[in-house]
Chains A and B, each alone.
Chain A
């Protein structure tokens, strides 16, 4: 009987340890995420691109006619009424200009690459009489918050998506 009870105690302890370690490991690695980075590779399951941020709504008539851009100056102005950067610029009385221009030209102007995007882009520029900041800008510290003389937003001429935005010193 004593042997039986001792065996029972040992088995119970073992079961307890297994249960505890299982519980602890599931906490340390929730959802079986890979616990260590393996360089810049996909996780161990497929993910899909999140795409660009949707912005200006293309006009179906222009889309069907295969025209580029697929939206008008009025559409851009209407969208900018709801756009955070444009509204920030408006509050600071910055001057706004909207141009439809080749992707290559925009790339040269702001030192960026739009070769994977539409051939015609919508470039919106905000200029001030003195350096300004935009509250939408993200930075690592207050002291590194950049001050701009120009800010810009770039929209894809086909999809109307916001491709990039920023500011120049």
Chain B
């Protein structure tokens, strides 16, 4: 009969094992606590990407975009954007959400922006009315306490002939009221727009908790409640649950987007 050998530890060995385990545990805990801080810092404090030369607007050239979009009829959109520093260079830059119709070229958008002749960022919204007239309203300066936090940005159809926008930063808001417009969006787009030719840079921002609003009567036209996640799953072609988008501009006019599911 082969002899079976039962593993056993003495008390001193056991204590050594326990102490070793505690040391490893403390190291792991330190790691877990440190990682989120690094990740949060990435949102608005560390990375800035600057472009040396580009052709993104001015007479005769187009703006550049780093965007994600969803196709399909909707009556509004919601997103939560990190408020970060944007430097317009010699043009404009904005982090925004758009609800637009690609066929009629009518849209409503909202977000925050900067322009070359102002040394501050501001909330804004803009739209094309039924006559094809472009309207934009710009706020006063975003408060320093808005930076490093997220801004809730909504655009939605408030009646069959009117649209509305609302922006809630951490400290300030911009609630410009209802406007007359009969936009029938078949696209929602989120991301960054750049106009100009030199000198811009931007800190990384995320567009979180992106949602769309439909004409489902369960919600009612007067009910601003946005669709919940399962509806998004049906709506987005790739069945993305919650979209977490990082827009990153790279060298020259190239704009790269990274999309991951949460």
Residues of A in contact with B (beta carbons under 8 Å apart): 1-2, 5, 8-9, 12, 15-16, 19-20, 23-24, 26-27, 30-31, 33, 35-40, 42-43, 47-54, 82-84, 87, 91-92, 110-113, 116, 133, 135-146, 148, 161-169
> In the complex, which residue of chain A has the Cβ closest to the Cβ of B229?
A36
Inter-chain CA distance A42–B172, complex, in Å, is 11
CB distance from A21 to the nearest CB of B (A): 9
Taking CB atoms, residues of chain B closer than 8 Å to A19 are 29, 32-33
What range describes how many residues of B lie at the interface? 35 or more
Cβ–Cβ < 8 Å partners of B22 in chain A? 8, 12
* CB atoms of A16 and B25 under 8 A apart: yes
Which of B46-54, B117-125, B233-241 touches A? B117-125
Q: Is B123 touching A50 in the complex (CB atoms < 8 A)?
A: yes
State whether B180 touches A111 (Cβ < 8 A): yes
Contact (Cβ within 8 A) B109 A110 = no
Are A50 and B14 within 8 A (Cβ)?
no
Provided the pairs A113-B177, A138-B113 are in contact, do residues A16 and B28 lie with their beta carbons within 8 angstroms? Answer: yes
A6 to B120, CA, bound (A): 59
| B98 touches A (CB below 8 Å) | yes
CB nearest to B24 among chain A residues: A12
* A138, B40: Cα distance in complex, Å: 29
| A82 in contact with B18 (CB, 8 Å) | no
B92 and A49 within 8 A (CB): no
Offer 22 A-B interface pairs, CB within 8 angstroms, sorted by A: A15-B25, A16-B25, A20-B32, A30-B43, A31-B148, A39-B223, A40-B166, A43-B152, A47-B169, A47-B173, A50-B141, A50-B172, A53-B138, A83-B117, A111-B133, A135-B57, A135-B58, A135-B59, A135-B63, A138-B124, A138-B126, A164-B136
Q: Which residue of B lies closest to A168 (CB)?
A: B133
Which chain B residue lies CB-closest to A151?
B134
- Residues on A with C-beta less than 8 A from B62 are 142, 145
Contact indicator B36/A135 (Cβ below 8 Å): no
- Closest residue of A by beta carbon distance from B156: A40
Chain A residues in 8 Å Cβ range of B124: 138
Q: Report A80 CB to chain B, min CB distance, Å.
A: 11
B170 beta carbon closer than 8 Å to chain A: yes
- Is the pair B135, A24 in contact by a Cβ cutoff of 8 Å? no
Assess whether B35 is in contact with A43, with CB atoms less than 8 Å apart: no
A112 to chain B, nearest CB (A): 6
Q: Are A35 and B209 in contact (CB under 8 A)?
A: yes
Which of B14, B115, B156, B169 contacts A1 (CB under 8 A)? B14
- When distances are taken between beta carbons in the complex, the residues of chain B under 8 Å from A35 are 209
Contact A49 B211 (CB under 8 A): no
Does B39 interact with chain A (Cβ within 8 Å)? yes
Q: Taking the complex as formed, is B230 at the interface, i.e. its CB lies under 8 A from any CB of chain A?
A: no
What are the 6 closest A-B residue pairs judged by CB atoms, nearest first?
A142-B62, A27-B36, A50-B139, A50-B172, A169-B132, A140-B98
- Nearest B residue to A36 via CB reads B209
User: Chain B's nearest CB lies how many Å from the CB of A87?
Assistant: 8
Residues of B within 8 A of A47 (CB): 168-173
The one of B17, B29, B96, B164 that contacts A138, using a Cβ cutoff of 8 Å: B96
Centre residue among B118, B122, B138 by max chain A CB count within 10 A: B138
* Cβ contact within 8 Å between A48 and B78: no
Contact status of A49 and B173, CB under 8 A, knowing A82-B117, A112-B179, A138-B124: yes
Q: Which residues of A contact B156 (CB under 8 A)?
A: 40
